[in-house]
Amino acid sequence: MFLDSKAPEGPLAEKWDQHKFSVKLVNPANKRKYDVIVVGTGLAGASAAASLAELGYNVHAFTYHDSPRRAHSIAAQGGINAAKNYQNDGDSVFRLFYDTIKGGDYRAREANVYRLAQVSVQIIDQCVAQGVPFAREYGGLLANRSFGGAQVSRTFYARGQTGQQLLLGAYSALSRQVAYGKVRLHTRSEMLDLVVADGKAAGIVTRNLLTGAIENHAAHAVVLATGGYGNVFYLSTNAKYCNVTAAWRAHKKGAYFANPCFTQIHPTCIPVSGDYQSKLTLMSESLRNDGRVWVPKTKELAERLRKGEIKVKDLKEDDRDYFLERKYPAFGNLVPRDVASRNAKQMCDEGRGVGSTGLAVYLDFADIIQRTGAEAVSQKYGNLFAMYEKITDENPYELPMRIYPAVHYTMGGLWVDYNLQTTIPGLYATGECNFSDHGANRLGASALMQGLADGYFVIPYTIGDYLARTAPKPVDTSHPAFAEADKAVQERTAKLLAIKGNRTPDQFHKALGHIMWEYCGMARTAEGLTHAKAEIQKLKREFWQDLKLAGANEEMNQALEKAGRVADFIELGELMVDDALDRNESCGGHFREEYQTPEGEALRDDENYAYVAAWEYMGDNQPERLNKEELQFENVKLTQRSYK
When the beta carbons of 384 and 577 are compared against another protein, the nearer one is 384
Q: Which has the closest alpha carbon to 517: 535, 541, 491?
A: 535
Closest CA to 160 of 380, 433, 460, 372: 380
- Active centre residues (catalytic): 337
Q: CA 344, CA 484: separation in Å to the nearest integer?
A: 50
Question: Based on the number of CB atoms within 10 Å of its own CB, is 473 exposed (0-12), middle (13-18) or buried (19 or more)?
Answer: exposed
Helix (H) or strand (E) holding 37: strand 35-39
The distance of closest approach from Cβ of residue 109 to another protein in the complex, given in angstroms and rounded to an integer, is 24
Query: Do residues 269 and 384 make contact, with C-beta atoms less than 8 angstroms apart?
Result: no
Residues found in the chain: 644
Residue 137 CB, nearest approach to another protein (Å)? 7
Q: Alpha-carbon distance 613 to 635, whole Å?
A: 22
Nearer to another protein, 30 or 507 (CB): 507
User: Which is nearer to another protein, 309 or 476 (by Cβ)?
Assistant: 309
Cα(612)–Cα(29) distance, integer angstroms = 40
Q: Which is nearer to another protein, 209 or 368 (CB)?
A: 209
CB of 417 to another protein, least distance (A): 22
Task: Give whole-number Cα distances, 151 to 129, 363, 438, in Å.
Answer: 28, 21, 18
CA distance 440 to 591: 10
Q: How far is the CB of 310 from another protein (least distance, A)?
A: 16
Longest CA pairwise span in the chain (Å):
76
Residues ≥6 apart with Cβ < 8 Å to 511: 539
CA distance 643 to 325: 11
Q: Give min distance, CB of 244 to another protein, in A.
A: 16
Beta-carbon contacts of residue 212 (< 8 Å; ≥ 6 apart): 552, 553, 554, 555, 556, 557
199 or 382: whose CB is closer to another protein? 382
To another protein, the closest distance from the beta carbon of 627 in angstroms equals: 34
Helix, strand or coil, per DSSP, at residue 212: coil
Minimum Å gap between C-beta 133 and another protein is 4
Are 185 and 61 a contacting pair, CB within 8 Å?
Answer: yes
- Rounded to whole angstroms, the Cα distance separating 98 from 636 reads 7
Question: 94 or 461: whose CB is closer to another protein?
Answer: 461
How buried is residue 621: exposed, middle or buried, by Cβ count under 10 Å (0-12/13-18/19+)? exposed
Whether 496 and 564 have beta carbons less than 8 Å apart is answered as yes
Residue 627 Ramachandran class (φ > 0 left, ψ -120 to 50 alpha, else beta): beta
Give the residue among 131, 116, 126, 82 at the shortest CA–CA distance from 430. 116
Q: Rank residues 51 and 153 by Cβ distance to another protein and give the closer one.
A: 51
Cα distance from N-terminal residue to C-terminal residue, the chain? 41
Min dist. Cβ of residue 240 to another protein (A): 6
Q: Which residues pair with 362 in a beta bridge?
A: 294, 402
The answer to whether 411 and 440 are in contact (CB under 8 A) is yes
Rounded to whole angstroms, the Cα distance separating 554 from 562 reads 15
Looking at the Cβ atoms of 356 and 642, the one nearer to another protein is 356
Q: How far is the CB of 502 from another protein (least distance, A)?
A: 8
